[in-house]
Amino acid sequence: MRRAIAAVVLAAALLPGCSSPAKDGATDETKGEARKYVIGMSQCNLGEPWRQQMNKDIEAAAAKHPEVEMIFRDAQNKSETQQSQMREFVQQKVDLIIISPKESRPLVKPVSDAMAAGIPVIVLDRKLESDDFTCFIGADNVKIGREAGKELAKQLGGKGSIVELKGLMTSIPGHERHNGFMEGIKGTQIKTIFEADCGWLEPNAQREMKSALSRFEQIDAVYGHNDPSAHGAYMAAKQEGKGRENTIKFVGIDALPDEGVRYVKKGILALTFQYPTGGAEAIDTALKILKGEKVDKTITLGTRMFNKENVEAGGVPL
């Protein structure tokens, strides 16, 4: 719709004999206002602090560009809802879509359909099982998992029994964080004695850890695929009432200042890794795409490691 209007305006401006009121192309001819780009953002859920942060980062970056109008949708952790949000954005003919998908498979077709309709799509944080999108932005989850394994192995002196509380295994970060971790502990005497898919959610992790604690006398560490999972495990150990929360090393990922980083400062977590939301980068990239510039297909974000020694100094980049 907006593209169509822009095309008509442009055509009129190019007609011989017509005056061209727009001086530098991208402005509204009559009022000098900036052109509006409508960007739809489908967030898989807003129940987790990390996702609230992602939306805040997008909002803050978009606020610096008066020509950008954002439409936010929350899929409430349901892939079907997210699928229909994609269809809604296509019907509305938004100029660009940002999606942070819940699962890797169910969103493949809706994203392809948007691309086929000529709407560029930026996939943020969780990958899709497809190449049909404009750009993927996210941190390297294999690397984060590997560094988690290596650093934990160091802290455990190369041996121990661990519990792995996985993220949702129908999403790619869960697999990548697992595979990377296995690489990181390769060649050590660390063995996994219990593992469960906790769907990224703290209550699930707390419940699974409760059963791990009741089955195993000796647990040296917990590798949670995100900070809420690691914290849920800590709470389960604390509630057991045997003081095991003081001897088990809890490892998480995300490192929000008010969540994981605070837990490391308080001695609850032994380790966490920054998992940037990519919100600001998504808006920068969206604007480049909308202005017709070429962007890389994959934009990989960095990470930082936080442990007891470096947390006060802001962690170390990896």
Q: Which is nearer to ligand FRU, 153 or 201 (CB)?
A: 201
Query: Min. distance of Cβ 296 from ligand FRU in angstroms?
Result: 20
Query: Min. distance of Cβ 125 from ligand FRU in angstroms?
Result: 5
Query: Min. distance of Cβ 200 from ligand FRU in angstroms?
Result: 3
Q: Which is nearer to ligand FRU, 173 or 232 (CB)?
A: 173
Angle at 169 between CA 120 and CA 218, to 5 degrees: 145
Which pairs count as long-range contacts for 239-247, CB under 8 Å and 24+ apart, including other chains? Answer: 239/210, 240/210, 240/213, 244/213, 244/219, 247/220
Query: Min. distance of Cβ 72 from ligand FRU in angstroms?
Result: 15
Q: Contact 173/226 with Cβ under 8 angstroms?
A: no
Residue 173 phi, psi (nearest 5): -55, -30
Distance CA 300, CA 303 (A): 10
Query: Min. distance of Cβ 167 from ligand FRU in angstroms?
Result: 6
User: Which amino acid is residue 32, in one-letter code?
Assistant: G
Q: Which is nearer to ligand FRU, 48 or 164 (CB)?
A: 48
Q: Which is nearer to ligand FRU, 103 or 151 (CB)?
A: 103
Q: Contact 239/220 with Cβ under 8 angstroms?
A: no
Name 96's bridge partners: 39
Q: Which is nearer to ligand FRU, 50 or 133 (CB)?
A: 50
Two tokens, residue 211: 């059963």
Closest by Cα among 110, 230, 109, 127 to 170: 127
Binding site for ligand FRU (CB under 6 A): 48, 50-51, 125-126, 167, 173, 200, 226, 253-254, 275
Q: Which is nearer to ligand FRU, 79 or 226 (CB)?
A: 226
List the 221-224 sheet strands across, edge first.
Answer: 189-197, 159-166, 221-224, 249-251, 271-273, 304-307, 316-317
Q: Contact 99/123 with Cβ under 8 angstroms?
A: yes
Q: Which is nearer to ligand FRU, 163 or 168 (CB)?
A: 168
Query: Min. distance of Cβ 45 from ligand FRU in angstroms?
Result: 6
Query: Min. distance of Cβ 114 from ligand FRU in angstroms?
Result: 21
Two tokens, residue 7: 């095309």
